[in-house]
Structures are given as C-alpha cells and as structure tokens.
C-alpha cells in the first residue's frame, strides 16, 4: 500500500474545511433588526386595538345617551292624584302637549309645593283657582266673562274639567292651578292647559258648590292636602 505524503494530507485537509464562524458584530446586527421588527409589530397591534376599542366605546356611549333620554321621557309620571278635603281628583297630564309646564308641575309636586295649597277663588260653572296669588282678573271680569261664555266658540282644550296654569305666572316662586268647571274659551289667552280630570269630576263639582263671599272666595278653607304622582291608573 502506497504511503500518502504529508504534503498531500495537508492539502486535503484544507479542501475539507468546516462551516465558517459568524462574527459577533453580525450576530448583534441580526438581533437588533429582529428586535426592531418585533417592536414595530407590537406597536401596530396596540394602535389598531386601541382604535377599535375607542370606536366601540363611542358607539356604546351614543346609544346609552339616547336610551337614557328615551327612558327618562318614558318614565315621567303621566297622572297626578290631588287629595283634597272633599275627595280625590285624578288628572291625566299632557306630557306631549305641554312638556315644559308638566316638567315644572312634576318638579313642584316632588318638592311638596302643593301640600296645603288653598283654592282661593271658586266660581260656580266657571273655574276653581288655587295658588299663591289671589288675583287673576278683577271680579267684574270674572262675572262678565262668565255671562258671555255661552256666546263664544269653545275649544277642545278648554272644556270643562281641564287643568291649567296662568300664562302670566311662569316663575320659580309661584304656580297657579285652575280647574275649569265649564268650557272657558275666553281664557285661551290667559291659561296654559296641561292636563284634564279623568276621575273625580264629582269632587270638582262639590268644591264649586261651596259658599263664597262677594269676591268668590270660599268662606270655609278648602284646598289640596297632597299630590301623588302615578305612571299608570
């Protein structure tokens, strides 16, 4: 067997070199690039995730506001029970026809504003009036208009047993209450109707039968003892 010379072995070993080693700077560069790519992906994910959540929250907030407004309007009491010394008068409130007046009336009811309110003017076949002020029109106007009411065209809003308040007393310190006992179209310019009596018409008629003096003021105290609000009757 022929012997291989040392020079030949050296040449063969040089031809069979193993894989070349990667330098440290190259490894550091690769790691840096990979880190930047990862950071970019994380930032992109967070951006789109936050945007999606904000859009969802905005949509929910809008829906909640609308739902709250609708719920508030729906939950407003639609009826008031006036307790008087003669009995109870049940009134249906015109929430759509006179919303601002109804809101004020409900607010005053919750504050107990009408507890102990007297009916200080009672005119038979015309109107009963309660509130702080004891003047609405002069006595002569009341009687003359009462005589003329049959000659005027009536309005459905101002039929008998309607609940109204004075257009001239719209402040936070006073609130006049009027319950008509006959059609009163001649008071269209003075009254805002915001409800109607649906039960207790006999109580209204009993109140208008009380004895009064020459100024239509009841000789014996009579008025509202309390008001109870109801959603349904």
The Cα 204–Cα 160 span in angstroms is 10
Give every CB contact of residue 142 below 8 A, 6+ residues apart in sequence: 121, 123, 126, 136, 216
Give the distance from CA 112 to its chain's centroid: 20
For 121: left if phi > 0, alpha if psi spans -120 to 50, otherwise beta; the answer is: beta
Give every CB contact of residue 69 below 8 A, 6+ residues apart in sequence: none
Helices (H), the chain: 6-15, 24-75, 99-110, 139-148, 201-208
Q: pTM for this one?
A: 0.63
pLDDT in tens, 61-113: 333 434 444 445 557 899 999 999 999 999 999 999 899 999 999 999 999 99
What CATH fold (topology level) applies to the domain 79-230?
Cyclophilin (2.40.100)
Lookup: tokens for 58: 């905005």
Residue 146 has pLDDT above 50, yes or no: no
The Cα 223–Cα 217 span in angstroms is 12
Backbone angles phi, psi at 192, to 5 degrees: -110, 115
Q: Domain residues of the chain, as ranges?
A: 43-75, 79-230
Lookup: tokens for 23: 């330098």
pLDDT in tens, 189-230: 778 899 999 999 999 999 999 999 999 999 999 999 999 999
Lookup: tokens for 99: 């919303």
Read off the pLDDT band of 119 (50, 70, 90).
very high
- Whether residue 95 contacts residue 231, with contact meaning beta carbons closer than 8 Å, is answered with no
- What pLDDT score does 9 carry? 52
pLDDT in tens, 120-139: 999 999 999 998 665 554 44
- Whether residue 118 contacts residue 210, with contact meaning beta carbons closer than 8 Å, is answered with no
Sign of CA dihedral 124, 168, 173, 183: positive
Closest to 207 measured CA to CA, from 110, 117, 74: 117
pLDDT in tens, 16-63: 555 556 677 777 777 877 877 787 787 777 766 676 565 544 443 333
């Amino acid at each position: 067997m022929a012997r291989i010379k040392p020079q030949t072995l050296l040449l063969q070993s040089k031809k069979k070199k193993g894989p070349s080693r990667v330098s440290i700077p190259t490894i550091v560069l690769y790691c840096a690039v990979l880190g930047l790519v990862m950071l970019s992906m994380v930032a992109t994910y967070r951006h789109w995730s936050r945007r999606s959540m904000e859009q969802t929250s905005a949509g929910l907030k809008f829906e909640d506001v609308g739902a709250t407004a609708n719920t508030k309007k729906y939950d407003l009491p639609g009826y008031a029970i006036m307790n008087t010394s003669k009995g109870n008068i049940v009134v249906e409130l015109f929430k759509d026809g006179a919303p601002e007046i109804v809101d004020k009336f409900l607010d005053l009811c919750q504050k107990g504003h009408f507890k102990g309110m007297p009916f200080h003017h009672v005119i038979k076949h015309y109107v009963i009036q309660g509130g702080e002020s004891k003047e609405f029109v002069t006595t002569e106007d009341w009687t003359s208009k009462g005589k003329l009411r049959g000659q005027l065209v009536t309005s459905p809003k101002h039929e008998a047993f309607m609940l109204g308040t004075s257009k001239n007393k719209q402040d936070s310190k006073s609130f006049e209450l009027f319950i008509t006992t006959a059609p009163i179209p001649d008071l269209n310019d003075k009254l805002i109707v915001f409800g109607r009596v649906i039960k207790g018409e006999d109580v209204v008629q009993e109140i208008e039968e009380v004895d009064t003096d020459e100024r239509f003021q009841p000789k014996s105290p009579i008025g509202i003892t309390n008001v109870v609000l109801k959603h349904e009757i």
